[in-house]
Structure 1
Amino acid sequence: MSAWRDRWSGALPRVAVVLHDLAMVWIVWEVLHRLRYGVMLNPPDMPFWSAEIALVLAAQGLVFWQVGLYRGLWRFASVPDLWNIFKACALGLFAIVLGLFLYNRLNLVSRTVLVMYPFVLMGMLGAPRLLYRAWKDSHADRGEEASVRILILGAGHAGDALVRDLRRLGTYQPVGFLDDAPSLRGSKVQGIPVLGHVDDVAEIARETAARLLVIAMPSADATEMQRVVASCERSGLPFRMVPRLRDTLEGRSLPGQLKEVAIEDLLGRQQVLPDWKAIRDWLGARSVLVTGAGGSVGSELCRQCARHGARRIALVEQDEFALITILASLRRDFPDLEYIPVLGDCGDTAVIDYALKAAEPEAVFHAAAYKHVPLLETQLREAVRNNVLATETVARACRAAQVGTFVLISTDKAVDPGNVLGATKRLGEMVCQSLVDHRSTRFVTVRFGNVLDSAGSVVPLFREQIRRGGPVTVTDPEVTRYFMTIPEACQLILQASAIGTHEAIYTLDMGEPVPIRLLAEQMIRLAGKQPGRDVSIVYTGLRAGEKLHETLFHADERYRSTAHPKILQAEPRPVVSREVHLALGKLRDACKRYDLPALDELLRQTVPEFQPIGLHPRPNPPATTVVAFPTVATRKN
């Protein structure tokens, strides 16, 4: 019953406007004809009501409705509305002439009146609208006028709650809702009218003088969000969105706080919900150690561990600024926990031994790694030292210290490695397998693809290129990658760690691969620009070591489902521990000598599935070119 009353209360002002406009049409038509024929000695008889007048009202009223004259509000009438009114009057005149010609061949219709009619009618319709706005502006509350007028897209529960929060803040003035549900059209939510469909946002935003758009559709999927964001972009106004419930519950957004639309909202991935009870049961009251704690994944792992019950966190990081930053963030957000910062290289035996003794962790997350594909193609020694030898150092120290669980953060590039990153991470997995002892530490490997907005990923690069005005560089128009958000990746790492299997390799279901071209286009649009017009996209070609498409599963690893639908467990490929340990000794010796050819040969031998892609020649000693005098020749050492 209340919904019925709201619908009628929203419709009554519109009916009054229609009646006002039709009355103006009748008055203008009658007055102009009486003035025209009043100067005649024997004016014709002109009744106040006739079939002719009814036809005029019907023709003009129909044009008013079709032109959309009643979608706007008098409260925000402006000069563009006057143009819309004149267009309606001119088209109405054409409809009237056509109708009267068919009815009575324009009998007693003055040609002078037909010329004056659209201009006089425009004045009679526009003047009351502008005067009403001026009157409302002069009597409006100053505090209300100082607030930002916003149009809310979505009149559901999120929109209703948003209005309540905004009214408490007092800095925003909601002027209307847009919603595609037919049942809501013309109704009111919290006293605010539902003005039209989401696709009409550009026109309605202009008619209501809105200055900000807010998307209140937290349950919308990526396809729907893309459509809504495209509509918002056409309006030319800034837009924000109500955070998803998950972001609010996990502390990344405050209730009622508006956030910018992020690229992950548009990529088409379904959010993965972990089994929080299983994670808290496994992690609760534990001491944990995270290597690479200042990195994108490592820092989020620290936050997730703090949020879900860890009592002590040791942070091992060789970048002092990154360590200070994450430590300050954790102490601010989780002041009751104990933190042990350790500045140093986790590949240094003394550093990792000290950290293990100080923290006495029950779980170690090894997130420290080099991961930039093109760079590592030319930095083979550092890739082996950090991704392989440091992994062995940490894993062996954990086994010696009887740590309960060691978790290696790996990558989908280790499945069928085609670059140095993939080969070194695959060898790191093999190192963990070779150290398995079912009487001591449980070794767990978790693989996933690219992490959105992590250091070195394409998202920060694209963002900077867009900020500079372009061009945005994409390697190939067909290239695709698997993506997930940093929090989502870390939650699934904890979920996989909590499953409890010995010597396990877990692969995270990354959903559908995302074309990098689409990612670039969406980021350009989110910046308020148009791809190809405001910011160009340039295709540079695949770089050394880069694949066109990544793979998540290896043919020789049999996969089975786990307790979590988004986590698959692979059966590890067999490794010969003695051969792995011999190779590690040779790799360590080659690293000390900076012997790149030896490192390259050892990596190919130890990881036989490593098939280099693109420009990955066997390293040679650097060439030296000496140019001093014309008589001195160029020589190579």
Structure 2
Amino acid sequence: MKKKAISMLLLFIDIILLNLSIIISFIIRFDGALSSNVASVYIEVYKENAITLTLIKIVIFYVFGMYKNLWKYASIEEMVQIVLTSFTANAGITTYMFITEQRLPRSIYILAFLLDIILIGGIRLSIRATRGFKEGFFLKNKEYKRVMIVGAGQAGAMVIKELKSHDDLHSKPVAIIDDDDSKLGAKINGVPVLGDRYHIAKIADKKLIDEIIIALPSASKQEVRQIVEECSKTKCKLKILPGIYELIDGKVSINKIRDVAIEDLLGRDQVKVDLDEISGYLNNKVVLVTGGGGSIGSELCRQIAEFKPKKLLILDIYENNAYEIENELLRKHPELNLNVIIASIRDKGRLDEIFAKHLPEVVFHAAAHKHVPLMESNPQEAIKNNIFGTRNVAECAHQCGSKRFVLISTDKAVNPTNIMGASKRVAEMIVQSLNVTSKTEFVAVRFGNVLGSNGSVIPLFKKQIAEGGPVTVTHEEITRYFMTIPEAVQLVIQAGSMAKGGEIFVLDMGEPVKIMDLARNIIRLSGFEPDIDIPIEVTGLRPGEKLYEELLMDEEGLQSTKHDKIFIGKPFFTDLKLLQRELEILKGLLFGNSEDIKEYMVKMVPTYKYNKKTS
């Protein structure tokens, strides 16, 4: 209602100003001698057409949106709009006068055009000036955030304009950072460019910056990571404009600006997948995902659903997880033929029944116990689930004639120092050896840690920060490979499309990340200072924990594929009969001593580095 009232007021003012501009034009044209015979004739013509001329101009003003913008934040763009609108309006009245064969001096039209710009633009800029004065007067008594924008391009300009257009955000852009020296000292929408990325901390301190917004949607992940690291030297809240691939329409709005996430520090560019190749083996197929309610499994289900499978089967022992992903998928894909099955991969009889009923063509086996310290204390459970559970699912896939079986493995299977890693290595051996005699194409996909997965270090750090610390790191030098969950799953699905059978696909995890650096960055992104606001405590390596993870065993070698982030390790173990005998012995040990189980695992996995307890 207020907006409509202001628009009506502007319209009324414009009617007065548009006529005033013509009157002033007459005064200028005739040097104030409006009573002369010549002037009187032209003034009479104007009086007879005043209403029509005013209506023509007002209609053109309306069409050009002069009453949609309330002019709280008039800028260069709005002034250009005034010039174009005034030109069109005066061209309109000139055309009308020509058609009706009525005459006014040509100078009147030119002077009226110039005066329209001055008067119409002036009234609108005065609204902005008055508002600016009012805001400046009350600013000291009003809470607001001082904002630094990184990026002096079009996106940065749009962010500034958006911030100025939203009073409710209480944000004031006061500085711009850009690496282009030619822009130094320039102003964008009234905000100065004060330096490059290496001046961020200094300028943030000098200008009392509360928040930094990174507005570089076209920048590479590596460049964004470097800038985030510079911003992290401040105590400012960090926000970021998503990448250009997320801004398809090219429009920047406040609701698209998000907090900087730890993913932005990975420095990894967006994964590119071959959609046609993926569609070929998932579209209109019956697909089963074991552990479908977990972090990796649920993301697998989300992405598989996009490829319109004939039927998607989600198998999980935990009903709450399965229930959540079921509701999410049915909400987003109401047309999806979805079956949620509550079952344990340890129950071979139940699996036989499921496979016989649904005949899955593609199986993604994500169900596993993965927590290293817990499995170290409970090796029997790791073996029951990760080894015998995998054998159960793999044998069912073989028996029912599934086309493809993809095992989700881990970097911890390489030269394992813990029972979890050793159990996953045996799982790889199962699918490699089964592949030799089966028509099913058995493959494994091996990758490192995924950010934000259940029980991973990121949620733990965030919880510890929320509790005021300390943040616990097991060793100052410990490093891990990290990947986002969607990225890992995209590559798993892509690797599955490339399978011929027997391969261990190894995903390019990028550069390893130092966990101590990760902890410090998460603390900074949470708005605190490491070791000052939130202490970091080194607790010592846990049983079975490595300082450094590996992705490939020396025996396997490495072969590139057509995808630059996927590699292949050659089949290493293929003796199914030997493996079956060893598995039967291992099964007999499950009810005995944990140390005996671990010692036998060394026999099965020679690269397993087991430190026997001494009393």
TM over 0.5: yes
Cα-to-partner distance string for 1:408-450 (whole Å, 9 max, x where unaligned): 0011111212210111001111111222256621101000111
SS at match of 1:136: helix
Query: Which residue does 1:525 correspond to in 2?
Result: 524
SS at match of 2:258: coil
- The C-alpha deviation readout for 1:36-71, integer Å capped at 9, x for no partner, is xxxxxxxxxxxxxxxxxxxxxxxxxxxxxxxxxxxx
User: 1:567 aligned to 2:563?
Assistant: no
Is residue 461–residue 519 contact of structure 2 (8 Å, CA) maintained in 1?
A: yes
Q: Which deviations, in whole Å up to 9, do the C-alpha atoms of 1:189-215 show, x marking residues without a partner? A: 5x4544323556678779989764321
Q: Which residue of 1 aligns with 2:420?
A: 421
What CA distance in whole angstroms lies between the structure 1 residues aligned with 2:510 and 2:215? 25
Q: Return the offset for 1:378.
A: 1.2
Answer whether contact 1:290 1:302 (CA < 8 A) is retained. yes
Distance 2:336 2:145 in 1: 41
SS in 1 for 2:555: coil
1:115-155 alpha-carbon deviations (Å, 9 max, x no partner): xxxxxxxxxxxxxxxxx99971269999xx99977543213
SS in structure 2 of the partner of residue 546 of structure 1: coil
Match runs of 1:429-508 below 5 Å: 429-437=428-436, 440-508=439-507
CA distance in 2 between partners of 1:243 and 1:600 (Å): 48
After superposition, the CA RMSD in angstroms is: 3.4
5+ residue gaps, structure 1: 1-74, 76-131, 621-637
**5+ residue gaps, structure 2:** 1-72, 74-128
After TM superposition, give the deviation of residue 391 of structure 1 in Å: 0.1
Residue 613 of structure 2 corresponds to 617
Say whether the 8 Å CA contact 1:174–1:192 is kept in structure 2: no
Deviation of 1:357 after TM superposition, in Å, equals 4.2
Aligned-partner Cα distance in 1 for 2:216–2:270: 15
Give, in whole Å, the separation in 2 of the partners of 1:141 and 1:441. 73
Cα deviation, residue 484, structure 1: 1.1
- CA contact under 8 A between 1:314 and 1:355: conserved in structure 2? no
Cα offset, 1:388, TM superposition: 0.1
Mapping of residues 269-284 of structure 1, within 5 Å: 269-284=268-283
Give 1:585 shift: 2.3
Structure 1 CA distance for aligned equivalents of residues 158 and 274 of structure 2: 28
Counterpart CA distance in 1 for 2:585 and 2:149 is: 64
The offset of 1:323, in angstroms, is: 1.0
Structure 1 counterpart of 2:606, which letter?
P
Provide the rounded CA distance (Å) in 1 between the counterparts of 2:342 and 2:524: 41
- Pairs aligned (count): 480
Which residue pairs with 2:153 in the alignment?
A: 156
Pairing 1:535-550 to 2, within 5 Å after superposition: 535-550=534-549
Q: Kindly tell me: are residues 174 and 135 of structure 1, through their superposed partners in 2, closer, same or farther at Cα, counting changes over 3 Å?
A: closer
Instruction: Give the distance between the partners of 1:164 and 1:350, measured in 2 at CA.
Output: 64
CA contact (8 A) 2:147 2:212 kept: yes
Q: Secondary structure at the residue paired with 1:528? A: coil
What letter is aligned with 1:323?
Answer: A
Deviation at 1:175, TM superposition (A): 3.8
Which structure 2 residues correspond to residues 137-176 of structure 1 after superposition, within 5 A? Answer: 137=134, 150-160=147-157, 162=159, 172=169, 175=173
CA deviations on 1:498-539 (whole Å, 9 max, x unpaired) are: 113211111111122111111111111111111121122222
Equivalent positions of 1:83-102 (< 5 A) are none
CA separation of 1:223 and 1:491: change in aligned 2, threshold 3 A: closer
Which amino acid in 2 is paired with 1:363?
V
Q: Distance in 2 between matches of 1:272 and 1:288?
A: 23
Distance 2:485 2:456 in 1: 11
CA distance change for structure 1 residues 174 and 155 in 2, over 3 Å: closer, same or farther?
farther
Q: Helix, strand or coil for the counterpart of 1:316?
A: strand
Compare 324-333 and 173-182 and name the one that shifted more.
173-182
The 8 Å contact of residues 313 and 359 in structure 1, kept in 2 or not, is answered as no
1:605 is matched with: 603
Shift of 1:348: 1.3
TM-score, normalising length from structure 2? Answer: 0.70
**2:160–2:173 CA contact under 8 A, matched in 1:** no
Per-residue deviation, residues 542-571 of structure 1 (Å, max 9, x unmatched)? 121111111122111122111111111111
CA contact (8 A) 1:496 1:567 kept: yes
What's the counterpart of residue 533 of structure 2?
534
Counterpart Cα distance in 2 of 1:605 and 1:225: 47
- C-alpha contact (below 8 Å) 1:248/1:255 kept by paired residues: no
Q: 1:462 to 1:164 in 2, by over 3 A?
A: same
Q: Give the corresponding residue for 1:124.
A: none
Matches of 1:136 and 1:199, distance apart in 2: 34
Aligned amino acid, residue 578 of structure 2: E
3-state DSSP of counterpart to 1:454: coil
Match of 1:123 in 2: none
Deviation at 1:456, TM superposition (A): 1.9
Q: Kindly report which structure 2 residues correspond to 1:218-367, keeping only aligned pairs within 5 A, or say none.
A: 218-221=217-220, 224-225=223-224, 228-229=227-228, 232=231, 236-246=235-245, 256-367=255-366
